[in-house]
A and B are shown apart, each in its own frame.
Chain A
Amino acid sequence: GESVGLHLPTLSVQEGDNSIINCAYSNSASDYFIWYKQESGKGPQFIIDIRSNMDKRQGQRVTVLLNKTVKHLSLQIAATQPGDSAVYFCAENSPSGGGADGLTFGKGTHLIIQP
């Protein structure tokens, strides 16, 4: 079936370096993608989103890239800080008749920031 998945379960980077977290999706009808950050013991927290009519969107220290040709999504975090340590999820909201859909989440990537 359709799914959203991540390439790497764990990513370790040095503090101050840039991080790139990748995500593959298989539902070509998906029109909205979101990145969430989940810290230990907390609920997922919205980071940034992108619609299928865009290929890049920037936020504060974060950039999301969407490549619809290869169905690939990435999250770039600039100058990583200790507070960036968390599990990162990509999610898609595929269109359906009802419109009020839940999100389909990927498996998550654990980002570890080393001092």
Chain B
Amino acid sequence: DTAVSQTPKYLVTQMGNDKSIKCEQNLGHDTMYWYKQDSKKFLKIMFSYNNKELIINETVPNRFSPKSPDKAHLNLHINSLELGDSAVYFCASSHGPGGTYEQYFGPGTRLTVT
């Protein structure tokens, strides 16, 4: 069974569109994250959610909004997509505060904005 899964794996869309990426974890973790990896492989935290509360919101545009319907899911919604949003987006999860902090990553979603 996949621990952290993301859909879709590839997403190609035009500028100005709105899209969503879904993430699910079956590890029973309390905290989930979204990371962005650019073309130079640099990984940067975007958001984290702990028990459905936003813990971190790095300086990302408000066009990006995480939504967590329950502890096992953290979806990423992106409005008015721009060329610069093209990247690979990774979902991750961990036990959260007081835990080991080891984060388990999903396979990634490669977003291409044309």
Contacting pair B56 A98 (CB below 8 A): yes
Q: A44-B105, A100-B50, A100-B55 are in contact. Are A107 and B42 (CB under 8 A)?
A: yes
Give every chain A residue within 8 A of B43 (Cβ-Cβ). Answer: 44, 89, 103, 105
B55 close to A46 (CB less than 8 A): no
Pick the contact of A99: B44, B97, B103 (CB < 8 A): B97
How far, in whole Å, are A98 and B47 apart by their CA atoms in the complex? 13
> Main SS of the interface on chain A?
loop
Query: How many Å lie between the Cα of A36 and that of B35 in the bound state?
Result: 14
Tell me the chain A residues, 63-115 only, with Cβ under 8 Å from chain B.
Answer: 87, 89, 93, 98-105, 107-108
Interface residues of B (CB under 8 A from A): 4, 30-31, 33, 35, 40-45, 48, 50, 55-56, 58, 90, 92, 94, 96-98, 100-108
List, sorted by A's number, 18 A–B pairs whose CB atoms are closer than 8 Å. Answer: A34-B103, A43-B4, A43-B90, A43-B106, A46-B103, A89-B43, A98-B56, A98-B97, A99-B97, A100-B30, A100-B48, A102-B35, A102-B48, A102-B58, A105-B42, A105-B43, A107-B40, A108-B42
Those 7 A-B pairs whose CB atoms lie nearest each other, nearest first: A102-B45, A99-B97, A43-B105, A100-B50, A105-B43, A100-B31, A100-B55
